[in-house]
Amino acid sequence: MKITTATKHFRNPLYLESGRILEPYDISYETYGELNEAKDNVIVVCHALTGSHHAAGFYEGDAKPGWWDGMIGDNKCIDTTKYFVICANVIGSCFGSTGPMSPRYPLEESYRLRFPVITISDMVKAQISLLNSLGIYEVQAIIGGSMGGMQALCYAIEYPHFAKKHIIIASTYATQPWAIAFNKVAREAIIKDPRFNGGMYDAEDIKKNGLDGLAIGRMSGHISYLSENSMQKKFGRNYVENEGLYELFGRFQVERYLDYNGYNFSKWFDPLSYLYITKAINIFDAGRNYDSLEDSFSNIESNITLLSIKSDQLFFKEEMEHIKNIMKKIGKKDLVNYACIDSNYGHDAFLVEIDKFIPYIKDVLR
């Protein structure tokens, strides 16, 4: 599989939903497979909150591949012998695309809290610029889970002829207060950490030592990515061995899991990006710029496949069913496929139990 990783610089303005302008801006992206001559074998993969453009393959020296390596590759479900797959880091993120820690042109200092509010529509608009700059004006499919699914839905509404198919996994039509509440705990923990320092933190220090508030916020996120069932199976009431004299004083394995993942995360993700991207998720509402969801969805002209997860505790399957129901209501039933994946892994299932998703995605791409 041919992999390329690149960052593209755009001098033209990106007009944001907030009315502000991002100019210039960079987009980091990765591609898998080869673009055919007709440039008609493209699949766009959209990442989630803390994901990046590194969706597949191994970087030199890394023990772990990209976040959807089981899905993307030669003769895999998203088959790179046939398709040219592209994944772009969303604007606002911290892996190469322009975000709050990028220099605020023409100055050299970072935007920090002067960075504009970014929406899911803005992320998609930036991706369209990237794709157009590569000579791509039409794609076979857009696929994404969680916040990636929001992007896929946004493509379907705002660029109805851009993709033939959209696969929206474990996502929603509009972020509900339950998800906003989990984000609130994280946002508050970050903002109130004294080392966050009103956004003027020492970035080098945080990369080295992490930020407690971001670690605590990530723990809150992890709860919503799992499910009571998956936690019970994974951790039960087991204690970490050899810690504490006896069990009343010990640490639970679920606590160690949250410690490990929380504090590690806070060394590799940027606190301001976390604030900006959770804001984009919170304000996501596919009906916002329309009279109603019905009105919004009436723009959709091509196929959308909805894959919900039975045990999803972040974006509940009922939210995905709501998309299906509205499409039916407005007479676009033929454009929608819906399946609920029977997994106990909660929201994370699309990353950890991908075998259950493969038959559905293969079927759509066939």
Applying CB under 8 A, which residues contact a second copy?
A: 17-18, 117, 119, 174-178, 180-182, 184-185, 188-189, 192-194, 212-213, 215-216, 219-220, 222-223, 226-228, 231-232, 234-237, 247-249, 252-255, 258-259, 262, 282-283, 285, 288, 316
Q: Which is nearer to a second copy, 79 or 122 (CB)?
A: 122
146 is catalytic: yes
Structure-block tokens of residue 206: 């945080």
By DSSP bridging, strand 25-32 and strand 84-88 are antiparallel
From CA 34, how far away is CA 53, in angstroms rounded?
Answer: 17
**Cα–Cα distance measured from residue 98 to residue 89, given in angstroms and rounded to the nearest whole number:** 9
Burial of residue 17 (number of CB atoms within 10 Å: 0-12, 13-18, 19+): middle
CB of 16 to a second copy, least distance (A): 9
Is 204 strand, coil or helix? Answer: helix
CB 351 → a second copy: shortest distance, Å? Answer: 18
CA distance 43 to 61: 27
Compare residues 54 and 125 and give the one whose CB is closer to a second copy.
125
Q: Is 34 exposed, middle or buried (0-12, 13-18, 19+ CB in 10 A)?
A: middle
Which among 291, 272, 315 is positioned nearest to 112, based on CA atoms?
272
The 3-state DSSP class for residue 25 equals strand
122, 171, 347, 348: which one is catalytic? 347
Closest CB to a second copy among 270 and 319?
319
For residue 110, the minimal CB distance to a second copy (Å) is 20
Tokens 């410690």 label which residue? 259
Task: Please say which residue, 74 or 318, places its beta carbon nearer to a second copy.
Answer: 318
Q: Which of 28, 52, 146, 171 is the catalytic position?
A: 146
Question: Nearest approach, Cβ of 327 to a second copy (angstroms)?
Answer: 20
Give CA separation, 120 vs 44, 137, 158, 337, in Å: 15, 20, 11, 23
The SS3 assignment for 238 reads coil
What is the smallest separation between the CB atom of 192 and a second copy, expressed in angstroms? 4
End-to-end CA distance of the chain: 20
Of the pair 6, 200, the CB lying nearest a second copy is at 200
Q: Write the secondary structure of 121-159 as one string of H (helix), E (strand) and C (coil).
A: HHHHHHHHHHHHHCCCCCEEEEEEECHHHHHHHHHHHHC
Rounded to whole angstroms, the Cα distance separating 254 from 233 reads 11
Q: What is the dihedral of CA 242, 246, 248, 249, to 10 degrees?
A: -50
- Nearest to a second copy of 91, 142 (CB atom): 91
Of 79, 122, 212, 312, which is the active-site residue?
312
Is the CB of 185 or the CB of 358 nearer to a second copy? 185
Smallest distance from the beta carbon of 200 to a second copy, in angstroms?
A: 17
For the CB of residue 188, give the shortest distance to a second copy in the complex, in Å.
Answer: 5
Q: Is 347 a catalytic residue?
A: yes
Residues with catalytic function: 146, 312, 347
